[in-house]
């Protein structure tokens, strides 16, 4: 996998460089910001390759209104400050008509501030923090669901199928983890689920046992874990060693949706309910073809970050085509009028529940069964039923 990422990353850089030197008066410039270096580079690569794939496909079909797309890729180095700086450079120096990105919510928020000040559309593909579209910024359009819907979807599902009376929350103390935890607490309280323990951990921790001992002592019906990549498999290993036995395990965040989670965690991953935005096994039109094309080009399968990047770029290209003129104001109006089917489902930017230009995307609940992500909710994408309650570790 690492070799594949390195090869694809080189391809991404080469493609990016060629595009930057190929500017003509007959091209349409689109800026893409995502981490190509730093701690988030693997996820940036997944997104960046999807942007490249989408742009190449559109250009092969004649481009947009007869003009080729010039995709200008910028590395945010996994840094919100740099994300803001390169976004400003794309708008002021490169004169892009719009910007797509980034991976992290913190970086996307910084980009959103710049795009608002410089009146340039930003299409957010995977930054999930509520604040991104929750501040009334009319220049930001988001395809993925806000982080609060991770909580809403899985709690609503459990209340219908296997209602918990008590909940324990263990979350990574970064921006996404903190905001997701805050809404989970609020929604659980509204649904009369008693929060009996809440614990924060630091990304990259190696010893979770003191925290897990506290949770075991409380014996919650539901253990909801919001984890970062690399942390989740270690958490589950130590939960097994300590015999932490809630009736329901729920995993949210990159740590559980990472393609490497199941291979890393092995049998410790079984029976966990995962909240996600998209999965290749969901019954979504166009998904199978997208996965096939992506894998053929880059030699590994896309995750939901790639799917949303591909969909966001497709929506942006369609909006440019429909716009009254090739200017940012016309494009903003065209984006607002979007209503189209994509590999992630229907995309339509609406104002609701305090959000502005937010796609009403449904998050999905999956359960890991026999080493596979099996969609179990909502019913229209379901490919199986959840196995609950979770068996005791001693009975597995």
Candidate from 7-11, 231-235, 307-311, 392-396 with smallest mean pLDDT: 7-11
The mean per-residue pLDDT over the stretch 71-88 comes to 98
Q: Which band of pLDDT confidence, cut at 50, 70 and 90, is reported for residue 18?
A: very low
Instruction: Express as a percent the part of the chain with pLDDT over 90.
Output: 85
Q: At residue 369, does pLDDT exceed 90?
A: yes
The mean per-residue pLDDT over the stretch 87-108 comes to 97
Q: At residue 84, does pLDDT exceed 90?
A: yes
Residues 216 and 346 occupy one common structural domain? no
Residues 140 and 162 occupy one common structural domain? no
Q: Answer for the pair 74, 31: CB distance below 8 angstroms, yes or no.
A: yes
pLDDT of residue 254: 85
Tally the domains of the chain.
Answer: 2
pLDDT of residue 49: 98
Taking the C-alpha atoms of residue 279 and residue 291, their distance in angstroms, rounded to an integer, is: 10
Question: Which residues fall within 8 angstroms of residue 217, CB to CB, at 6 or more apart?
Answer: none
* Per-residue buried b or exposed e for 274-286, using 16+ beta carbons within 10 Å of the residue's own CB: bbbbbbbbbebeb
Domain that holds residue 371: 148-276+363-395
Residues 257 and 170 occupy one common structural domain? yes
Residues 336 and 210 occupy one common structural domain? no
* Per-residue buried b or exposed e for 19-56, using 16+ beta carbons within 10 Å of the residue's own CB: beeeeeeebbbbbbbbbbeebbbbbbbbbbbbbbbbbe
Residues 120 and 175 occupy one common structural domain? no
CA torsion 352→354→358→361, rounded to 10°? -70
* C-alpha neighbours within 13 Å on the C-beta side of residue 156: 14
Residues 264 and 390 occupy one common structural domain? yes
Q: At residue 60, does pLDDT exceed 70?
A: yes
Residue 193 belongs to a domain with what CATH number?
3.40.50.2300
Q: At residue 190, does pLDDT exceed 50?
A: yes
Residues 231 and 372 occupy one common structural domain? yes
Burial degree of 208 (CB within 10 A; 0-12, 13-18, 19+):
buried
| Mean per-residue pLDDT of the chain | 93
Q: At residue 8, does pLDDT exceed 80?
A: no
* Dihedral sign of CA atoms 244, 227, 349, 189 in order: positive
Q: Answer for the pair 149, 156: CB distance below 8 angstroms, yes or no.
A: no
Residues 159 and 113 occupy one common structural domain? no
pLDDT of residue 97: 98
pLDDT of residue 230: 84
Residues 261 and 290 occupy one common structural domain? no
Q: At residue 9, does pLDDT exceed 90?
A: no
pLDDT of residue 284: 85
Q: Answer for the pair 252, 277: CB distance below 8 angstroms, yes or no.
A: no
Residues 153 and 246 occupy one common structural domain? yes
pLDDT tens across 216-263, in order?
999 999 999 999 888 999 999 999 999 999 999 999 988 998 888 999
pLDDT tens across 321-366, in order?
999 889 999 999 999 999 999 999 999 999 999 999 999 999 999 9
**What is the per-residue DSSP string for 69-92?**
EEEEEEE-TT-HHHHHHHHHHHHH
Closest CA to 106 of 136, 126, 86: 126
Q: Answer for the pair 350, 360: CB distance below 8 angstroms, yes or no.
A: yes
pLDDT of residue 25: 61
Residues 354 and 373 occupy one common structural domain? no
Residues 203 and 125 occupy one common structural domain? no
Taking the C-alpha atoms of residue 359 and residue 335, their distance in angstroms, rounded to an integer, is: 11
Is-above-0.85 flag for pTM?
Answer: yes
């Amino acid at each position: 996998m690492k070799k594949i990422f390195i090869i694809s990353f080189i391809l991404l850089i080469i493609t990016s460089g060629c595009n930057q030197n190929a500017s003509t008066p007959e091209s349409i410039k689109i800026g893409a910001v995502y981490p190509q270096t730093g701690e988030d580079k693997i996820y940036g690569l997944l997104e960046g390759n999807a942007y490249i794939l989408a742009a190449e496909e559109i250009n092969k079909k004649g481009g947009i209104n007869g003009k080729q797309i010039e995709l200008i890729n910028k590395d945010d180095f996994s840094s919100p400050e740099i994300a803001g700086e390169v976004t400003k450079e794309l708008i002021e120096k490169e004169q892009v008509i719009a910007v797509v990105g980034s991976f992290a919510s913190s970086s996307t928020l910084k980009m959103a501030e710049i795009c608002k000040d410089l009146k340039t559309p930003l299409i957010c593909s995977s930054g999930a923090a509520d604040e991104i579209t929750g501040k009334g910024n009319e220049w930001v359009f988001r395809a993925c669901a806000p982080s609060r819907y991770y909580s809403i979807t899985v709690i609503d599902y459990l209340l219908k199928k296997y209602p918990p009376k008590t909940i324990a929350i263990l979350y990574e103390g970064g921006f996404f983890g903190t905001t997701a935890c805050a809404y989970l607490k609020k929604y659980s309280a509204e649904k009369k689920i008693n929060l009996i323990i809440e614990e924060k951990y630091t990304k990259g921790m190696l010893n979770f046992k003191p925290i897990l001992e506290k949770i075991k002592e409380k014996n919650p019906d539901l253990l909801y874990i919001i984890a970062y990549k690399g942390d989740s498999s270690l958490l589950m290993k130590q939960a097994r060693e300590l015999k932490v036995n809630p009736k329901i395990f729920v995993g949210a965040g990159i740590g559980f949706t990472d393609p490497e989670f199941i291979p890393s965690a092995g049998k410790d991953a079984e029976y966990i309910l995962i909240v996600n935005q998209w999965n290749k096994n969901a019954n979504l039109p166009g998904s199978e073809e997208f996965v096939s094309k992506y894998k053929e080009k880059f030699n590994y399968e896309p995750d939901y970050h790639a799917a949303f990047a591909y969909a966001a770029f497709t929506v942006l290209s369609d909006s440019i085509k429909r716009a009254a003129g090739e200017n940012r104001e016309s494009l903003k109006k065209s984006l607002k009028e979007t209503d189209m089917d994509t590999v992630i489902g229907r995309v339509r930017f609406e104002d609701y529940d305090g959000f502005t230009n937010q796609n009403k995307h449904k998050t999905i609940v999956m359960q890991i069964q026999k080493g596979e992500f099996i969609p179990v909710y909502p019913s229209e994408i379901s490919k199986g039923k959840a196995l609950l309650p979770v068996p005791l570790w001693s009975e597995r």
